[in-house]
Amino acid sequence: MSHDNSQIYRTTSARTGKMLAIMLGICIVGGVIFFSMWDYWISSPPPVVALMGGGDDHAGPAVHTGATITSDLSFIESSDFRTLAFNALPGEPDNNPTINMEVGDKVMFNVVNDGRSFHSFGVTSDDEGFSGIIPGSEVASASNPLKAGEGGTSEFIAGEDGVFYYICTVPGHREQGMVGQIIVGDASAQVMEPEVVEEVMEPEVVEEVMEPEVVEEVMEPEVVEEVMEPEEFNGVISVPEGTGTPGCDETNACYIPFNVSISAGEEITWSNDDTAAHTVTSGSPADGPDGNFDSGLFMAGGIFSTTLDESGEYPYFCMVHPWMTGNITVN
3-state secondary structure of 269: strand
The DSSP symbol for 198 reads I
- Spatial contact of 259 and 228, defined as CB atoms under 8 Å apart: yes
Rounded Cα gap, residues 280 and 239, in angstroms: 10
> Edge-to-edge, what's the strand order for the sheet holding 267-272?
236-239, 267-272, 303-307
DSSP letters along 74-141, please? EEEE-TTSS-EEESS-TTSTTSS--EEE-TT-EEEEEEEE-SSS-B-EEEES-SSSS--BPTT--BS-
Rounded distance, CA 272 to CA 255, Å?
10
What pLDDT sits at residue 4? 58
SS3 7: coil
Domains of the chain: 49-204 (2.60.40.420), 229-330 (2.60.40.420)
Sign of the Cα torsion 309, 314, 317, 319 reads: negative
Helix residue ranges per DSSP H, 211-311 = 214-228
* Residue 264 Cα distances to 5, 269, 309, 313, angstroms: 84, 14, 5, 11
Structure letter (DSSP) for residue 197 = I
Peptide bond between residue 221 and the one before it cis (omega within 30 degrees of 0): no
How far is Cα 90 from Cα 83, in angstroms, rounded to an integer?
8
| pLDDT in 10s for each residue of the chain, 331 residues | 555 555 655 667 788 888 888 888 898 888 888 777 655 554 444 444 434 444 444 445 578 889 999 999 999 999 888 899 999 999 999 999 999 999 999 999 999 999 888 899 999 999 998 889 999 999 998 878 898 899 999 999 998 999 999 999 988 899 889 999 999 998 776 665 444 434 444 445 445 545 555 545 545 545 444 444 545 688 899 999 988 878 888 899 999 999 999 999 999 999 999 988 889 999 988 788 889 999 988 888 999 999 999 999 999 999 888 889 999 999 9
Evaluated on CA atoms 242, 140, 76, 150, the torsion sign reads positive
Dist. CA 261–CA 215, nearest whole Å: 29
Q: Please tell me the predicted confidence (pLDDT) of residue 31.
A: 81
Closest alpha carbon to 119 in 84, 87, 164, 91: 84
Residue 107, burial from CB neighbour count under 10 angstroms (0-12, 13-18, 19+)? buried
Of 283, 254, 291, 285, residue with least CA distance to 270: 254
Farthest-apart Cα atoms in the chain, separation:
118
Distance CA 113, CA 84 (A): 12
CA distances from 137 to 63, 165, 274 (A): 15, 11, 28
What pLDDT sits at residue 2? 54
pLDDT in the model for residue 5 = 59
